[in-house]
């Protein structure tokens, strides 16, 4: 259960301005009620929503706004702004949630996806530069999330680099829930799972530092069947979970993604729940663990009220873990190289 003291309002005297792109899409449909109801920013924080989608989605977006009105959310300011102009959506935003991106179509290669999204995240980075608050906090969700966030940060120099993050919390929650189910424990009893690297099938879901009241730190890998079981079952299951949901729903994860975005934002803005709790966020590397400085990489972090976090940089990494971290690092370096090539053409 959330402690109400932890969620004392960030701005008691005004509404928190939250901009959401891709607001006519699937994730937004699950996320907007969480924002409007106080689940993310607490039961006393007024919220002003500024929603962006492409012109072709205007009617759907208008329908979403009708539903937000009909929800009679006490914390929500009216009218909800909806637009297809990024500068209008981002104006004065405290929090920016970037869901909108170009989806992968049959036959498209990863580099085609990077090119399409490179343009979107360049344009949105420039728009943020023009109109967002200098201390806005940004989370990128649209895929490929790490590299989209990197591109955005190249064009958005006004906002400090460490305020631009991307979502690894869905993978983190997936791993936490899987560990709980395997051990027959409560999810709330599972602490300090970690996701490293890219939000892709190369990510490294790591249980080395995880613990429960029954399984002390250092014993979790053995409790889950040992390293060969992790390598053959647990790790691939989490790496491929997004694809599994996509195959079943014919749509990518939306309800669980919205929950994860809420968890990411709540922990980031109000602090992680306890002093030693670790969560996973994609943030610019500070060079920890030999990851190139500035690369957008999922790390273990601890957060402190007011949108501050620190990368937990003193965990010992053994050969088993290092191999996975190197694989996801290599993929991210090659994505960044491709994105750099595109960015240099755009400038
Ligand atoms: N990082 C993660 O953990 C994670 C998890 C799930 C989904 N995703 C990604 O999140 C993104 C959104 O997922 P969804 O299910 O809501 O998709 P969706 O297709 O239902 O919605 C995306 C919306 O974005 C809009 N859009 C496209 N380009 C835009 C632009 N330039 N500006 C504003 N809006 C734009 C579309 O019109 C659409 O309404 C996808 O890229 C998906 O792959 C990431
Ligand atoms: O949209 C996708 O490609 C999958 C999504 O990122 C997920 O992890 O569920």
CATH class label, 169-333:
alpha beta
Cα–Cα distance list, 186 to 179, 181, 183, 264, 284 (Å): 10, 8, 9, 20, 32
Q: Where in the chain is the domain with CATH 3.90.110.10?
A: 169-333
Mean pLDDT: which of 147-151, 274-278, 339-343 is highest? Answer: 147-151
Domain 5-166 = CATH 3.90.550.10: no
- The Cβ-side half-sphere exposure at 275, using a 13 Å CA radius, reads 0
Q: How many CB atoms lie within 10 A of CB 131?
A: 18
CB distance 253 to ligand 2 below 6 Å: yes
pLDDT at 109: 73
Q: Are 172 and 282 contacting, i.e. CB atoms less than 8 angstroms apart? A: no
pLDDT at 311 over 80: yes
Q: Which residues of 319-333 are buried (b: 16+ CB within 10 A; e: fewer)?
A: eebeebbeebbebbe
Q: Mind telling me the catalytic residues?
A: 199
pLDDT at 60: 98
Tokens of 205: 């879901």
Q: Identify the residue whose C-alpha is closest to ligand 2 atom 1.
A: 252
pLDDT at 345: 81
- What pairing do the DSSP bridges indicate for beta strands 95-98 and 137-140? parallel
Q: Please give the distance, rounded to the nearest whole angstrom, from the Cα atom of residue 6 to the centre of ligand 1.
A: 31
Residue pLDDT, tens place only, 79-94: 999 999 999 999 999 9
Determine the length of the chain: 347
Q: What would the DSSP string read from start to end of 115-184?
A: HHHHHHHHHHHHHHHHHS-TT-EEEE-SSSHHHHHHHHHHH--SS-GGGEEE--HHHHHHHHHHHHHHHT
Q: Are 300 and 193 contacting, i.e. CB atoms less than 8 angstroms apart? A: no
- Complex-level ipTM: 0.99
- What pairing do the DSSP bridges indicate for beta strands 137-140 and 16-21? unpaired
Q: Where in the chain is the domain with CATH 3.40.50.720?
A: 5-166
Q: Identify the residue whose C-alpha is closest to ligand 1 atom 30.
A: 100
Q: Are 99 and 28 contacting, i.e. CB atoms less than 8 angstroms apart? A: yes
Residue pLDDT, tens place only, 130-175: 999 999 999 999 999 999 999 999 999 999 999 999 999 999 999 9
CB distance 177 to ligand 2 below 6 Å: no
Residue 5: band (very low, low, confident or very high) from pLDDT cuts 50, 70, 90:
confident
Q: Are 165 and 149 contacting, i.e. CB atoms less than 8 angstroms apart? A: yes
Probe residue for ligand 2, chosen from 169, 202, 246, 261 as the CB with the greatest number of ligand atoms within 8 Å = 246
Q: What is the pTM of this model?
A: 0.97
């Amino acid at each position: 259960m959330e402690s109400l003291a932890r969620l004392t309002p960030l701005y008691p005297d005004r509404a928190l301005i939250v901009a959401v792109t891709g607001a006519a899409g699937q994730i937004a449909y699950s996320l907007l009620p969480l924002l409007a109801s106080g689940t993310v920013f607490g039961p006393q924080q007024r919220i002003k929503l500024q929603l962006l989608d492409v012109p072709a989605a205007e009617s759907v977006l208008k329908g979403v706004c009708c539903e937000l009105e009909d929800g009679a959310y006490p914390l929500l300011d009216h009218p909800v702004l909806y637009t297809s102009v990024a500068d209008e959506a981002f104006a004065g935003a405290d929090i920016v949630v970037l869901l909108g991106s170009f989806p992968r179509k049959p036959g498209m290669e990863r580099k085609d996806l990077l090119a399409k999204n490179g343009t979107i995240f360049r344009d949105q980075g420039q728009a943020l530069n023009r109109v967002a608050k200098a201390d806005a906090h940004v989370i990128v969700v649209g895929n490929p999330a790490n590299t989209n966030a990197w591109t955005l940060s190249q064009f958005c120099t006004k906002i400090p680099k460490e305020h631009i993050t991307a979502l690894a919390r869905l993978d983190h929650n997936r791993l936490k829930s899987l560990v709980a189910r395997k051990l027959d424990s409560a999810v709330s009893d599972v602490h300090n799972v970690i996701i490293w690297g890219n939000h892709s099938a190369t990510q490294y879901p790591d249980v080395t530092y995880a613990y429960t009241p029954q399984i002390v730190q250092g014993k979790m890998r053995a409790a889950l069947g040992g390293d060969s079981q992790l390598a053959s079952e647990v790790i691939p299951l989490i790496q491929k979970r997004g694809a599994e949901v996509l195959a079943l729903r014919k749509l990518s994860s939306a309800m669980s993604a919205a929950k994860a975005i809420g968890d990411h934002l709540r922990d980031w803005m109000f602090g992680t729940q306890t002093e030693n709790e670790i969560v996973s966020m994609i943030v610019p590397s500070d060079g920890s663990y030999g990851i190139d400085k500035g690369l957008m990489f999922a790390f273990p972090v601890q957060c402190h009220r007011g949108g501050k976090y620190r990368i937990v940089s003193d965990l010992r990494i053994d050969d088993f873990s290092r191999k996975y971290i190197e694989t996801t690092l290599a993929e991210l370096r090659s994505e960044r190289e491709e994105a750099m090539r595109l960015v240099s053409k755009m400038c």
